[in-house]
Amino acid sequence: METRSADEVKKKIKDFALGMGVDDVGFATVSDYQSPRSPSIESLFPAARSMVVLTYKELSNCESPSPQMSMAGRLDIMEFARSCNYKLCRFLEKEFRCTAMSTPLSYPLDMGKKAGNGTIGDVSCRHAALAAGQGNFGRNNLIIHPTLGARVIFAVILTSLELPSDPPVTEDLCIQCNICVENCPAGALDEEGKTDVLKCLGKSQPYGIMASISFWRKFIDSPPEEQKKMFRDENYLRLYQSAFIGFQYHCFNCYMLCPIGQD
């Protein structure tokens, strides 16, 4: 490490990540990561000095009207990304004798009050991607990558290595076409710069915690014959799957309809 310049270290890390099949890689110092609503990086990993942001292009599955098909694509990315996280963390620790930690892509997620009832992750991938020059915010409140567009998922690795940030993307990538706003089935993007979380959740995760609570409330108050019917209902079968697979997204509109980066 002593004899290698920061640029050489960054190149080695980038080559390793691209070699695994990651689409793009960026770097940011912990101090350039500015996400006012998220916990401080220091509270998660005091020795962290920089972050490596890995960008993955979502499969075309997200265009499928079948929720099984669209979610299968997301599960593939998440599984692949977690494996890359592990490999890259081990590479960093062995090659540069530093410490490295992977962070959750979406979950586990603290769903307590302090974390906005499950709306604030330990590390904000979008703010990390912004700081690492992987793109900037669009009207959809997502990060648009300069060549891959908005259909990208980010993973963040924290490390004790002192690595400078990559240059930010200064060009405004959003063309303000409003396709995302007009096609949001919940009207969750009507107010600029803010996603109405409850509205989005109702459409994007119809089998999430709120649906689970109302199912069990109704179940408790129902007579045995009605309870039997409730267990055979599609609603329960979807809730059951979400409970062991994890969050199941049923809407990708603001993400997959954005024209930037699409051929």
Segment 125 to 164, residues that bind ligand SF4, using CB under 6 A: 138-140, 150
Largest CA-CA distance found in the chain, in angstroms, rounded: 74
* Closest distance of CB 143 from ligand B12, Å: 4
77 in contact with ligand B12 (CB under 6 A): no
Three-class SS state of 218: helix
- Taking the least distance from each CB to ligand SF4, the nearer of 120 and 179 is 179
202: left (phi over 0), alpha (psi -120 to 50) or beta: alpha
What torsion, rounded to 10 degrees, do the Cα atoms 74, 186, 126, 258 define?
A: 70
242 in contact with ligand SF4 (CB under 6 A): no
* Closest distance of CB 247 from ligand B12, Å: 8
Nearest Cα to 261, choosing from 83, 135, 87? 135
Stretch that binds ligand SF4, among 71-79, 162-170, 175-183, 233-241 (CB under 6 A): 175-183
Number of residues that bind ligand SF4 (CB under 6 A): 25
Judged by beta carbon distances under 5 to 8 A according to partner kind, the member of ligand SF4, ligand B12, none in contact with residue 105 is ligand B12
Nearest-angstrom CA–CA distance, 43 and 37: 13
* Closest distance of CB 5 from ligand B12, Å: 30
Q: Which of 20, 69, 115, 179 binds ligand SF4 (CB under 6 A)?
A: 179
Nearest Cα to 249, choosing from 116, 72, 129? 72
Judged by beta carbon distances under 5 to 8 A according to partner kind, the member of ligand SF4, ligand B12, none in contact with residue 206 is none
Stretch that binds ligand B12, among 43-51, 105-113, 157-165, 217-225 (CB under 6 A): 105-113
Three-class SS state of 35: coil
- Taking the least distance from each CB to ligand SF4, the nearer of 27 and 252 is 252
Contacts of 183 (CB under 8 A, 6+ apart): 253, 254, 257
Three-class SS state of 56: strand
Q: Which residues bind ligand SF4 (CB under 6 A)?
A: 138-140, 150, 174-180, 184-186, 188-189, 195, 200, 203-204, 251, 253-254, 258, 260
